[in-house]
Chains A and B, each alone.
Chain A
Amino acid sequence: MQILDPTDERVPVRRSLTDRPDAIAGTVALLDIAKARGDVLIDQLEKRLTARLPGVAFKHYRKPTFTKPAPADLRRQIAEECGFVIEALAD
């Protein structure tokens, strides 16, 4: 007989932040998690960051739902197309 313990005693895998460059360059993803009002904040951030960071491009993406992580193919697409990610807006 095998007895299984249903409690979760796992210790989370310890991760680390990736290195930051000296400056933002290339393309930045603006990932909308699809909660109401987040688009207004994201659009204004893009406006301000475009003025602040000449030469940097911004690309918009939107999750299908805020209730779960982004689909794997969307994550991969963003990682292929962008060097940085801004995700908003959890509420």
Chain B
Amino acid sequence: MHDTIWFESNRRPAVFIASSEFEQAATAQAEALGLPEVRRIIVPHPIQDATDDEMRAKADAIVDAVVAALAR
């Protein structure tokens, strides 16, 4: 989150991807760092014990959201 906000501050559109387990922490960090509207995309938990196919499915599900986060 710190990095994503640094890039925004340096005029680089950025998006941060996190699991649902991290959502509350991401919101708290974004507020603490002064950019609550920082673009972030949440993918469903679990991550660590997900299979490769499950991880790829999570990626497939957010492609549109990633594009929308970086451009108008």
Contact = CB atoms under 8 A, between A and B. Distances in A.
A65 B28 CA distance: 21
Interface in B1-58: 1-19, 21-22, 25-26, 31-35, 37-39, 43, 45, 47-48, 50, 52, 55-56, 58
A90 B16 CA distance: 8
B4 A37 contact: no
Which of the listed residues A41, A75, A88 has the most CB atoms from chain B within 10 Å of its own CB?
A: A41
Interface residues of A, number: 45
B12 A90 contact: no
B72 A15 contact: no
B43 to A, nearest CB: 7
B47 A37 contact: yes
B63 A49 contact: yes
A36 interface: yes
Contacts of A22: 71-72
13 contacts: A14-B34, A18-B8, A21-B13, A24-B71, A40-B52, A45-B66, A49-B67, A69-B2, A84-B12, A86-B15, A89-B43, A91-B19, A91-B45
Interface of A: 12-24, 28, 31, 33, 35-38, 40-42, 44-45, 48-49, 52-53, 63, 69-70, 75, 78-79, 82-91
Would you list the 3 A-B pairs with minimal beta carbon distance, nearest first?
A: A44-B59, A88-B17, A90-B18
